[in-house]
């Protein structure tokens, strides 16, 4: 009987210890991140795009360009986040719309390359957020 | 106050309705938690269906919807009371002998501390990332924003331009968020955190309380510790994606099959099981696979045990529960035009080519094993194997049908996932890397439930069992 009790005690201890260990680890990580007071990416994007969103509120579909193209994962995430904060405005990748949203790494991006492709700077909202307008064809 | 009206009130109504509708014979403590877990799932599920129907037929959600929803919830209470039934359940719940109370006490206190850590860690994660993870703001919460912000133009959510948002995925999660926003009249992130928290915590509560009713309180607590101690479970819950809600509905369906096995009012449990399976299908496309698997598995299990007529009777009751939700799902699939990335551009030739490419079988098989062992369940597979080895299989097993059902469902679901990976037109390593952990998490609570259904309880092992009369 004693050995059976010991086995049960061992199993209880193992389950409790592993469960406690995993949860404590998760809790510690959470506390560390919370203490660092890092803003999540979406909140940063919401702040970056707040003025543009206000400006585009009567538009249904606009274009989207960015300089994140060198990394497809990063580019995809940047595009999804921009779409998330600007919804219900639909963002379509490319330069075929009248208005095109530019999402750039740098606060002062080089926009010359876009201007050679029939896009003109309509307004610079700062923080790498630029609205282009399509000119001509 | 508005948050209370949007969630607490309908959950309370669902609780009362279930209290009357299901036979009232569960042990009081566990029964309350069990009913409450079911109520949370049914409330979020049914209200998302009614919200979708309102959007579909009347346009944007207005105050009228909220009034009608609450009146409807209250009307259902006397209906459930009228049909209520008090019946005895053949409980397998074991009363631990007095010698065993010390174990129970240690386990209860440890569980409380661990669950507190779990809840606190979940809330911290949610506070740090209130919009969830990539798939949440790239799909589920994005759809919620489109539906809420577009007003009468809510169909723009399914615009061809948004092809990358898995437009054909059912809407339980996004609409649950939209519904709360419509009550609050703003887009507070509390709504999406609340929906994620309700499903995550209800899954834990459902696992603990169901096993406490069916096996023993100690078994329920041990299973709960395994689930909350699974690293990916906490993380995925706070990610605000639909895999934890789907896992909840899969577990709830299987728990209800187990409960009906020991009840005289089998049909009532089957109706609710049907509703839960239907809601699984309304959560994600994998839920549709689950629904099909349930029909097939129950046909195999019931026909082989009790004959085809018994299966047909069960099927009829199960279908009563499934039908209303399936009707909403069919309406959504037929009337909201969208395509699925897994089927787009597929032809018989390309599918056959992939099916006959044996390197794909190896890649998928290896990923399944590596992920399941290395990431999801490493320590638990070791501990649970020792658990089974030391305590052995339960001798007195009145759950044979539900054990077979649970194992076959897990097996068929894994087979279904394997097949989807085989034929996927997406880059296979990328598809595996980005989705396999979520697919396994959908069935992980059910795997834990099935394991503790099969293995001896510590009480049985120590032979100090006093079965409740």
Please say whether the beta carbons of A90 and B153 come within 8 A: no
Closest CB from B106, B114, B379 relative to A23: B114
Chain B CA closest to residue A60: B156
Residue that wins the pLDDT comparison between B172 and B435: B172
Chain B CA closest to residue A39: B128
Chain B CA closest to residue A38: B128
pLDDT value at B108 more than 70: yes
Q: Which three-class secondary structure state does DSSP give residue A90?
A: strand
Residue that wins the pLDDT comparison between B254 and B1: B254
Q: pLDDT, tens digit, for every residue of B64-77?
A: 888 888 888 778 77
Residue that wins the pLDDT comparison between B103 and B57: B57
pLDDT value at B469 more than 50: no
**What value does the mean pLDDT take over residues B240-245?**
94
**What value does the mean pLDDT take over residues B8-32?**
75
Q: How many CA atoms lie within 13 A of A80 on its CB side?
A: 23
The CA distance from A57 to the nearest CA of chain B, in Å, is 11
Q: pLDDT, tens digit, for every residue of B243-271?
A: 999 999 999 999 999 998 877 777 889 99
Q: Which of B121-125, B213-217, B229-233, B378-382 shows the lowest per-residue confidence on average (mean pLDDT)?
A: B378-382
**What value does the mean pLDDT take over residues B308-314?**
91
Q: Which three-class secondary structure state does DSSP give residue A100?
A: strand
CB contact under 8 A, A42 and B159: no
Chain A CA closest to residue B235: A26
Of the segments B56-65, B373-382, B416-425, which one has the largest average pLDDT value? B416-425
Q: Which residues of B touch A1 (CB under 8 A)?
A: 462
Q: Which residues pair with A65 in a beta bridge?
A: A102
Q: DSSP for B159-178?
A: -GGGGGG-TTS--HHHHHHH
The CA distance from B2 to the nearest CA of chain A, in Å, is 25
**Residues A120, B60: Cα–Cα separation, whole Å:** 37
Residue A13 CA, chain-centre distance (Å), reads: 42
Q: Which residues pair with B95 in a beta bridge?
A: B466
Closest CB from B121, B153, B390 relative to A7: B390
Residue that wins the pLDDT comparison between B231 and A24: A24
pLDDT value at B111 more than 90: yes
CB contact under 8 A, B391 and A11: yes
**What value does the mean pLDDT take over residues A78-107?**
90
CB contact under 8 A, A11 and B121: no
**Residues B94, B238: Cα–Cα separation, whole Å:** 35
Going by pLDDT thresholds of 50, 70 and 90, the confidence category of residue B466 is: very low
Q: pLDDT, tens digit, for every residue of B271-303?
A: 999 999 999 999 999 999 999 999 999 999 999
The CA distance from B159 to the nearest CA of chain A, in Å, is 9
CB contact under 8 A, B225 and A30: no
B101, B109, B110, B392: best mutation site toward chain A, by most A Cβ within 10 Å?
B110
Q: What is the residue-averaged pLDDT of chain B?
A: 87
**What value does the mean pLDDT take over residues B13-37?**
77
**Residues B419, B432: Cα–Cα separation, whole Å:** 12
Reported ipTM: the value is 0.91
> If interface means Cβ-Cβ distance under 8 Å, which residues of chain A face chain B?
1, 4-5, 7-12, 14-16, 18-27, 29-31, 33-34, 38, 40, 42-43, 60-61, 77, 80-81, 83-84, 87-88, 90-92
Q: pLDDT, tens digit, for every residue of B404-443?
A: 999 999 999 999 999 999 998 888 888 898 888 889 999 9
Q: Which residues of A touch B387 (CB under 8 A)?
A: 11, 15
CB contact under 8 A, B117 and A23: yes
**Cβ pairs A/B, distance under 8 A:** 131
* Residue B123: exposure state from Cβ atoms within 10 A (0-12, 13-18, ≥19): middle
pLDDT value at B52 more than 70: yes
Q: Which residues of A touch B136 (CB under 8 A)?
A: none
Going by pLDDT thresholds of 50, 70 and 90, the confidence category of residue B450 is: very high
Ramachandran bin of B46, using left for φ above 0, alpha for ψ from -120 to 50, beta for the remaining angles: alpha
Q: Which residues of A touch B430 (CB under 8 A)?
A: none
Q: What is the pLDDT of residue B420?
A: 92
pLDDT value at A82 more than 90: yes
Going by pLDDT thresholds of 50, 70 and 90, the confidence category of residue A1 is: low
Q: What is the pLDDT of residue B336?
A: 82
Please say whether the beta carbons of B251 and B294 come within 8 A: no
Q: Which residues of A touch B146 (CB under 8 A)?
A: 87-88
**Residues A25, A127: Cα–Cα separation, whole Å:** 36
Percent pLDDT > 90 in chain B is: 50
Closest alpha carbon to B270 in B218, B216, B310: B310
Q: Which residues of A touch B110 (CB under 8 A)?
A: 16, 20
pLDDT value at B131 more than 50: yes
Q: What is the pLDDT of residue B27?
A: 60
Q: How far apart are the first and last CA of chain A?
A: 88
Going by pLDDT thresholds of 50, 70 and 90, the confidence category of residue B373 is: confident
Q: What is the pLDDT of residue A121?
A: 87
């Amino acid at each position: 009987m004693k050995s059976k009790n010991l086995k049960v005690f061992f199993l209880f201890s193992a389950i409790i210890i592993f469960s406690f260990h995993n949860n404590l680890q998760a809790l510690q990580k959470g506390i560390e991140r919370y203490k660092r007071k890092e803003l999540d990416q979406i909140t940063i994007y919401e702040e970056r795009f707040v003025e543009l969103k206000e400006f585009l509120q009567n538009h249904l579909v606009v274009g989207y360009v960015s300089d994140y193209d060198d990394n497809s994962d990063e580019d995809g995430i940047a595009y999804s986040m921009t779409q998330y904060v600007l919804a219900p405005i639909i963002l379509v990748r490319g330069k075929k719309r009248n208005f095109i949203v530019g999402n750039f790494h740098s606060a002062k991006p080089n926009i010359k390359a876009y201007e050679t492709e029939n896009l003109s700077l309509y307004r610079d909202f700062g923080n790498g957020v630029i609205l282009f307008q399509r000119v001509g064809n | 106050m508005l948050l209370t009206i949007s969630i607490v009130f309908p959950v309370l109504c669902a609780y009362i309705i279930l209290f009357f509708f299901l036979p009232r014979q569960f042990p009081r403590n566990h029964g309350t938690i069990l009913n409450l877990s079911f109520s949370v799932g049914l409330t979020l599920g049914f209200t998302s269906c009614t919200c979708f129907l309102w959007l579909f037929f009347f346009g944007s959600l207005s105050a009228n919807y909220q009034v009608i929803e609450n009146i409807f919830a209250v009307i259902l209470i006397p209906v459930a009371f009228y049909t209520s039934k008090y019946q005895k359940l053949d409980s397998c719940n074991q009363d631990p002998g007095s010698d065993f109370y010390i174990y129970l006490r240690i386990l209860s206190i440890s569980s409380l501390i661990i669950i507190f850590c779990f809840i606190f860690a979940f809330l911290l994660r949610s506070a740090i990332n209130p919009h969830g993870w990539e798939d949440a703001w790239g799909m589920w919460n994005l759809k919620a924003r489109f539906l809420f912000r577009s007003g009468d133009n809510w169909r723009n959510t399914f615009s061809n331009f948004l092809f990358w948002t898995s437009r054909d995925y059912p809407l339980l999660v996004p609409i649950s968020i939209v519904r709360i926003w419509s009550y609050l009249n703003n887009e507070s992130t509390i709504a999406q955190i609340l929906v994620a928290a309700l499903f995550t915590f209800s899954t834990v509560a459902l696992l603990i309380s169901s096993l406490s009713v069916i096996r023993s309180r100690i078994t329920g607590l041990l299973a709960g510790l395994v689930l909350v101690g699974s690293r990916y479970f906490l993380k995925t819950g706070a990610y605000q994606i639909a895999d934890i809600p789907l896992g909840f509905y899969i577990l709830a369906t299987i728990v209800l099959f187990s409960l009906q096995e020991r009840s005289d009012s089998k049909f009532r449990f089957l109706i609710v099981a049907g509703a839960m399976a239907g809601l699984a299908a309304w959560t994600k496309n994998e839920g549709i696979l689950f629904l099909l698997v349930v029909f097939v598995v129950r046909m195999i299990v019931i026909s082989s045990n009790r004959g085809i007529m018994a299966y047909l009777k069960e099927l009829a009751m199960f279908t009563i529960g499934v039908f209303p939700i399936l009707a909403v799902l069919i309406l959504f699939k037929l009337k909201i035009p969208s395509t699925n990335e897994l089927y787009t551009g597929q032809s018989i030739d390309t599918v056959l080519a992939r099916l006959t490419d044996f390197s794909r079988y190896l890649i998928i098989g290896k990923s399944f094993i590596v992920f399941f062992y290395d990431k999801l369940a490493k320590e638990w597979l070791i501990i649970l194997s020792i658990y089974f080895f030391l305590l052995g299989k339960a001798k007195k097993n009145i759950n044979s049908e539900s054990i077979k059902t649970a194992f076959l469902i897990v097996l068929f679901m894994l087979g279904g996932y394997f097949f989807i990976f085989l034929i996927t037109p997406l880059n296979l390593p990328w598809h595996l890397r980005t989705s396999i952990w979520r697919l396994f998490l959908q069935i992980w609570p059910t795997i834990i439930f099935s394991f503790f259904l099969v293995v001896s309880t510590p009480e049985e092992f120590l032979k100090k069992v006093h079965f409740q009369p």
